[in-house]
Structure 1
């Protein structure tokens, strides 16, 4: 997957980019530009490194006058849009983050020009990473701008308001101040919680989920306040609490109707193949019995305890379902867990464990052996 992502900077991407540069920049030397791009280190660079490298080279071809260079970038984007770059390049929103990155590298000194550029560029390529140094340097000033963005007519700018101030944005620098105290972020989320765009509402949920990792009670209090307000806020609240639900937080589980599971019983939990190799699927099954005299809402999950290199185990929770089980019902459930090679996980030979989780409480556990 890492190779796939870095190769998004493909021949087709550079054809589109250099065509745009030739049409906007006077005396642009396409061959020289490509020679500088494909230097001796290019093949070893990962996606973000390639993005930075391209932006650094591009800087030398744009005007040294920062406001003028932003005008050039805006003209380049207009040319790319007019020539339907989305039909030629995969993930244009991602690969053209070279333009927001240019602002991040070169525009921190010119707040006014950069803010205007964020508004015009983010509908083409998201500026969520690039705004973060501005938040760190100009916190009060920048958060005032972000609050205004929550009422912007363009959904991409409204999403930027939420996404840009996430405390733990993936790929982006952490906002340590907001990890410690997310208070400045809350008015932004309040302003967007009823947004018409699902794209924006998902960002609000992700921001709250970030907050839950450092300040769980803040997210719980907001979830309690927002739940039941509307269908849209209910979706935000549920998505925002996903980390707390997986962690088995009792207050959050009860907020969504998942009570203590004392009337649920696991029977006949078994692993079909307790010795597997990398590339195989772990198969297991069990029966879930409700011996109460009423139906019970159940959040059903399982956890895999992955063996690490130093001999300890790390736990990862996987959701099976959320549903009601009728009084006296007995349900047979089977699952497969893939152990195919993925770039985000390294497997180690030895004993692993799988356990069942009902409404946040772990029940049965069984061991299996993985051979790498």
Structure 2
């Protein structure tokens, strides 16, 4: 995906447009020289983040070296840029704003309106966590949903592709007032960030997140959506408290029978199917979460489990036949290796049946 993004987000015409926009706002800007510096002989081979940082360094050559003046120019072009240009602007503040705290932090709050400042804020969080989090808390009350989303996204303990903030991973207490402010936000963009933040926290502090979700449950439709999405990792792990929170029935009342794989010796690239019978021994409908786990063989020869959801549904008492297709085609996110793979059927967090196949 990064290979595609580096080409789609950073084509020559976007660099040229960036230079034109900067010159419109700041006439002394040498746009042609800037484009030549950015699109050097190594440009096509640079990866996504390398292109972003290279552009930032080139930009610094042609902007005023007074950080405050440079930031004023960058803020002025916010309404005119998106995509490639937008992700460079917070990076400029990250690189050159470390010694200009009271200019840099407000600037990130403005620049996030065209391209999220979630990566740019991370070094500031590591430098002065409490100081930076005061800005984050204030941004959570913004009228602009992009700024509110940044307030949550920027302090995620496990933000993908971002530098880590170990203090937040160890103790997320400074994050919680921000999430409280945003727990009933009307914007889906913000809701997803709050849920992802809580999901990050749940990986290190599951009981804390469950305490929050139990307290928030039923407050509104928005909040209920957030807590369900926030608990996705806990549900995949079969956490009993999470299962109870969302009303999933006791798995001891259910049995899996006649679990069969259509092919026990497929080749890489093949599709298989499997089916089983789910027996529900109750008098009333039950809320059921049906998943399966595949223990994939890795390049090292060891196995690693991955959970796949089949469905969540209310089911009547009795016996139900469940069928599912699974592919062993290689993907950008998963490469397959030969060896013994184990399939497990999971009902409301409990493993109920297993079968093995030999992938060739």
TM-score, normalised via structure 2 length: 0.94
- In structure 2, the residue matched to 1:280 is 270
Query: After superposition, where does 1:345-364 map in structure 2 within 5 Å?
Result: 345-364=334-353
Query: After superposition, where does 1:300-339 map in structure 2 within 5 Å?
Result: 300-328=290-318, 330-339=319-328
Distance 2:22 2:179 in 1: 38
TM-score, normalised via structure 1 length: 0.91
- In structure 2, the residue matched to 1:108 is 98
Superposition deviation, residue 207 in structure 1: 0.6
Superposition deviation, residue 29 in structure 1: 4.1
Superposition deviation, residue 232 in structure 1: 1.4
Residue-by-residue CA offset, 1:8-54 (whole Å, 9 max, x unaligned): 21233223212213323435444433332233433332211211111
Residues 18 and 85 in structure 2, CA contact (< 8 A), matched pair in contact too: no
Distance 1:183 1:93 in 2: 33
Superposition deviation, residue 278 in structure 1: 3.0
Superposition deviation, residue 219 in structure 1: 0.6
Residues 16 and 35 in structure 2, CA contact (< 8 A), matched pair in contact too: no
Residues 282 and 338 in structure 1, CA contact (< 8 A), matched pair in contact too: yes
- In structure 1, the residue matched to 2:24 is 23
Q: Secondary structure at the match of 2:266?
A: strand
Superposition deviation, residue 93 in structure 1: 4.3
Residues 90 and 120 in structure 2, CA contact (< 8 A), matched pair in contact too: yes
- In structure 2, the residue matched to 1:200 is 190
- In structure 1, the residue matched to 2:13 is 12
Distance 1:79 1:345 in 2: 38
Q: Secondary structure at the match of 1:275?
A: coil
Tell me which moved more, 174-183 or 31-40.
31-40
- In structure 1, the residue matched to 2:148 is 158
- In structure 2, the residue matched to 1:235 is 225
Residues 93 and 126 in structure 1, CA contact (< 8 A), matched pair in contact too: no
Residues 264 and 289 in structure 1, CA contact (< 8 A), matched pair in contact too: yes
- In structure 2, the residue matched to 1:85 is none
Q: Secondary structure at the match of 1:39?
A: coil
Q: Does 1:289 align with 2:279?
A: yes
Q: Secondary structure at the match of 1:130?
A: coil
Distance 2:179 2:78 in 1: 30
Superposition deviation, residue 258 in structure 1: 1.5
Q: Taking structure 1 as reference, are residues 79 and 311 closer, same or farther at Cα in structure 2, changes over 3 Å only?
A: closer
Unaligned runs of 5+ in 2: none
- In structure 1, the residue matched to 2:58 is 57
Tell me which moved more, 46-55 or 18-27.
18-27
Superposition deviation, residue 199 in structure 1: 1.4
RMSD: 1.8
Distance 2:35 2:114 in 1: 23
Residues 157 and 197 in structure 2, CA contact (< 8 A), matched pair in contact too: yes
The one of 247, 260, 266 equivalent to 2:237 is 247
Alignment length, in residue pairs?
A: 359
Superposition deviation, residue 235 in structure 1: 0.9
Residues 104 and 131 in structure 1, CA contact (< 8 A), matched pair in contact too: yes
Distance 2:270 2:33 in 1: 49
